[in-house]
Structure 1
Amino acid sequence: MGIDGKAVDALGDERLDWRFKAIPVSAHGLTVGEARRERLPLDDFGTPLLTLDAGALDHNVRAMAEWADAAGMDLAPHGKTTMAPALWRTQLDAGAWGITLANLPQLRVARAFGVRRVLLANTLLDPAGLAWLAAELEWNPEFEFQCWVDSVRAVELMDEALRLARAQRQVDVCVELGGPGGRMGVRDDGDARTVADAVRKARTLRFVGIAGYEGALAHDASEEGRGTVDAYLRRLANLYRGLEYETGEPVVSAGGSAFFDQVAEVLGGLEGRVVLRSGAYIVHDDGFYRGISPFARGAGGAGSRLRSAMHAWARVMSRPDPALAILDAGRRDLSFDAGLPEPQLVRGKGAEPVDGARITALNDQHAYLVDGSAEIGDVVRLGLSHPCTALDKWTMLPVVDDAGAEHPTVVDYVRTWF
């Protein structure tokens, strides 16, 4: 197993109380395990609230695992999406090769739960963090770790810090290739080879692969966007083929949740280990990823289409104008960076809001619902866009049996660490 199952199981012993938004007072004092067995009705929970859907989570995990296996790729899902060790275990149990993370605090959460193989899709330069990593690698021989570098200076700083920490194990490093207008990553292929040479010369580091992120270069599935992604992935593949590594099984890694079909097409036949890092798929959404996911474009067949596993619930507090309802959820509860929430239904009434109902704006604690039929006191289910900035506002997520039911039942609770 790629995670400490006992540590994850111990989360069931945590007691529910005022620390967790929307948990009903009737559940305060219960452990998570006890509340799970109680199977409380969602009607008992306050608003605002964010829930996960058990059936959608299960479907999404299986669909992605089966697709990656058929494509001949290893999956190291980006754990930053959920920061939920219980969900990481679900992904690992389904065959994931490891867990990807973005920074040192996230890495420490992973190690607290015994995640055995971590790909840090970033450069780690913090001297104190590198000293901690060196000790973690020394004390835990089973721990496998890789991170990225994109400059000779970064190699020098890592090597210096690890030497000062008297690191006993080399840190595995991938050179990151970027692109024009992208985020981090070497822009020039020749510079990438220079960085690779520097890694090979550093006693504390080991050059094990090439990595990158195509999602920073295109933000839609247009012909132009997909062409940009293809061109970048071909560069990545050519660079990977032309370098010498300090391991018998080098790694080439790419892939967010928007273009993983193209990653498979371009990188899938390469020798070594091809690692896909998609993360948003487990939760998916009713916004950006619903529109851009390769499964929505037909990859994997109709049965692979992902389902949104997250929904927000907000209560109508006021109808100050005939066409306006004010809900009790805002930017501190809901994601909004990749699109505003989508009103979907009124709980217990079994009907969609009237055609044209929409959220037009969010304040910190309020949402503006226009042209909806919901009345004061009604609870509206909202679809959200971008799970990474939805889940980070919640430390305990109730999991319902069916978010589309008239009266959903809470069957589990997922703890997050953001």
Structure 2
Amino acid sequence: MGGRLSGEASPDGAPSGDKGLPETGTDLLADVSLPAAVIHEPALAHNLAWMQRFAEAHGAYLAPHGKTTMAPALFQRQLDAGAWGITLATAPQCRAAFAAGVTRLLMANQLVGRANMTIVAELLAAGAEFCCVVDGADNIRELGAFFAERGQTLDVLIELGVPGGRTGCRALEQVEALAQRIAAEPALRLIGLEGYEGVVQAADPVSAVRDYAARLVEAARRLDRAGHFPVETPIITAAGSAWYDLVAEVFEASGITARFTPVLRPGCYVVHDHGIYREAQQGVLARRPALHEGLRPALEVFAQIQSLPEPGLAIAALGKRDIGADSLPVPLRRFREGGRADQPLDVTGWRVTRLMDQHAFLALPAGGGDVCVGDMRVGDIVAFGASHPCLTFDKWRRVLRVDGHLAVQEVMETRF
């Protein structure tokens, strides 16, 4: 999978409305219309192999959450690396992934609304292996009636939540009651349990996450003892991008992997970040020193300095329409336009202080904002790191994959 290496025209010959594409060649520092979202191949390859090894070392399967990137080319890379399937959040996301060749779809969300059910019915008819989560009797009844009308069977997972959290049953007794309701719906088949530990809030989050994963294991065992799973190896699945090591640890230590198919669902690992997930990874490495090196940030947004209006201030052509704004972007490296990848310039002390729709305010060290002082120039290219990659990917219809020399190797589409 991939795309054009030219931004001049779309496949139908019409001018492209996409931003951040190669225009005159493949050199990121000379030929690309900036700003551009960039994935570095060396870090990407490292992350794909690292997380796959981690899952396999714990007897688990990997179903990366595709909502992070919604990039079919990255889905394929994850599958090629050994992923069991791809997790999605919505029916349209599932349809986009299936159209790109993903056949095993885990929708870690409730399927509600007849229009969305219709999308899933079409996917099932086309041969997709699909499951979604349920946490309430009304939804079970509606799903049962809808798919019975079509003569189809929908695989479902019961979701276990936490008090005060997001979706999911709050008590194990609710889980057991829902299992009985599912058994009464001929068009539904219960194939496992699902949870998401990222909603757990506690003064001691490590212990709380471990406790939550243990409750998920207990719920799965209760249903299994009661004969509620009409499949040979039910699924037990959890694990986002922050606490996957704790979930994997509990699943493995419980011995449940001998009976169940354990599935981990981190999504942000594929490109990692320079913010919240970098901090989370530091926690993983502190808990698991034997891992040595962790994930590497692979996603950056390159933009140019467009103005030096006063001393100590530079304005970059980068804004909320280009990069996630959960926290302010981080200046990482600087280059001359047309310069070389192996000749970065200093950004020590640079700091983004404000982000508008399409402008970033950069506070510079003393003298750095005066065009007559230092080596700062309008047109300089700055690589910015972001926190929470999901909210950067969804701002781009095309993302560039580059090699270690910043040569564009692939233009990857997103399907948001």
Q: Where on the TM-score scale, by shorter chain, does this alignment land: which range?
A: 0.7 to 0.9
Q: 1:358 to 1:112 in 2, by over 3 A?
A: same
2:138 counterpart SS class: helix
Per-residue deviation, residues 301-338 of structure 1 (Å, max 9, x unmatched) = 4554111111111211222231211111100001012x
- 2:55 pairs with 1:62: no
- Whether 1:146 and 2:131 are equivalent positions in the alignment is yes
Given residue 335 of structure 1, which amino acid in structure 2 is its aligned partner?
Answer: G
Post-superposition offset of 1:116: 1.3
For the 8 Å contact 2:157–2:192, the answer to whether it is kept is: yes
Alignment of 1:307-346 (within 5 A): 307-337=296-326, 339-346=327-334
Q: Which residue does the alignment assign to 1:186?
A: 169
Q: Please give the secondary structure, in 2, of the residue aligned with 1:359.
A: strand
Specify which of 42, 58, 71 is matched with residue 84 of structure 1: 71
State how 1:42-121 maps to structure 2 within 5 Å: 42-121=29-108
Note the 1:167-206 alignment, pairs <5 A.
167-168=151-152, 170-206=153-189
Shift of 1:9: 6.6
Alpha-carbon distance in structure 1 between the residues aligned to 2:290 and 2:346: 28
Distance between the aligned counterparts of 1:96 and 1:367, measured in 2? 38
Alignment partner of 2:24: what SS? helix
After superposition, the Cα gap between the structure-2 partners of 1:351 and 1:139, relative to the gap in structure 1 and judged at 3 Å, is: closer
Offset at 1:249? 0.7
Q: Is contact 1:200-1:246 (8 Å) kept?
A: no
Q: Contact (CA 8 Å) 2:3, 2:412: kept in 1 or not?
A: no
Q: Which residue of 1 aligns with 2:192?
A: 209
- Structural mapping, 1:1-12, within 5 Å: 8=1
1:307 is paired with a residue whose SS is coil
Match of 1:35 in 2: none
- Tell me which residue corresponds to 1:351: 345
Give the number of equivalent residue pairs.
Answer: 387
CA separation of 1:191 and 1:302: change in aligned 2, threshold 3 A: closer
Percentage of identical aligned residues: 38
Match of 2:220 among 202, 220, 240: 240
The 8 Å contact of residues 199 and 205 in structure 1, kept in 2 or not, is answered as yes
SS at match of 1:346: strand
For residue 41 of structure 1, report the CA deviation from its aligned partner.
Answer: 4.3
1:297 aligns with 2:277: no
Q: TM-score, normalised by structure 1?
A: 0.87
Aligned partner of 1:399 in structure 2 is 401
Q: Distance in 1 between matches of 2:112 and 2:5?
A: 36
Residue 388 of structure 1, CA deviation: 0.5
Unaligned runs of 5+ in 2: 337-342, 369-375
Q: 1:331 to 1:10 in 2, by over 3 A?
A: closer
Code of the residue aligned with 2:412 in structure 1: it is: V
For 1:367, give the aligned amino acid: A
Alpha-carbon distance in structure 1 between the residues aligned to 2:27 and 2:120: 42
The 5 Å alignment of 1:25-40 reads 25-26=23-24, 39-40=26-27
Q: TM-score, normalised by structure 2?
A: 0.88
> What residue in structure 2 maps to residue 162 of structure 1?
147
Change (3 A) 1:295 1:306: farther
Post-superposition offset of 1:387: 0.8
Match of 2:357 among 361, 364, 368: 364
How far is the alpha carbon of 1:138 from its aligned partner? 3.1
Q: Is the 8 A contact 1:295 1:301 kept in 2?
A: no
Contact 1:42 1:410 in 2 (8 A): no
